Copies of this chain bind each other. A is one copy, B any other.
Amino acid sequence: MISKRLSELRKKKQWSLQYIADQLNIAKSTYAGYESGYRQPSLEAVKELAVLFGTTTDYLLGVTDKEQPTIELTHLTFHMTIDGEPVTEDEIIQLIAFIRTKRELEKHKK
């Protein structure tokens, strides 16, 4: 599973084996082994690959099929930052109102 995911992601980004190997400081053949299924990456490598590809280890490992987590803002079940500064709950409520209003206006425009 992880080999398939790695292969797909790398091709989508149009990265070479060598580039990824350099990023993780491993041999090209080592990374190639991950994609071919000939080898399994270490847990540390899995972590680094998830960060490099901008995805989650859950996706790489096949726990989930979603490359990027989808978050429903109104559920408030996570922490968020902008410019490194935590977004307060009040601010999130304002954000939601902002978007709702904007959408409402868009609707009437048509």
Q: List 27 A-B contacts (CB under 8 A).
A: A40-B43, A43-B43, A47-B61, A47-B63, A50-B58, A54-B77, A56-B56, A57-B58, A66-B79, A68-B78, A69-B69, A70-B79, A71-B71, A71-B80, A71-B81, A72-B81, A73-B80, A73-B81, A85-B103, A87-B99, A91-B99, A91-B102, A94-B98, A94-B102, A95-B95, A95-B98, A95-B99
Count contacts on A: residues with CB < 8 A to the other chain.
43
Other 16 A-B pairs with CB < 8 A, given A43-B43, A69-B78, A72-B84? A43-B46, A51-B63, A56-B57, A57-B57, A66-B79, A68-B77, A71-B81, A72-B81, A72-B82, A73-B81, A73-B82, A74-B82, A82-B99, A82-B100, A83-B100, A95-B98
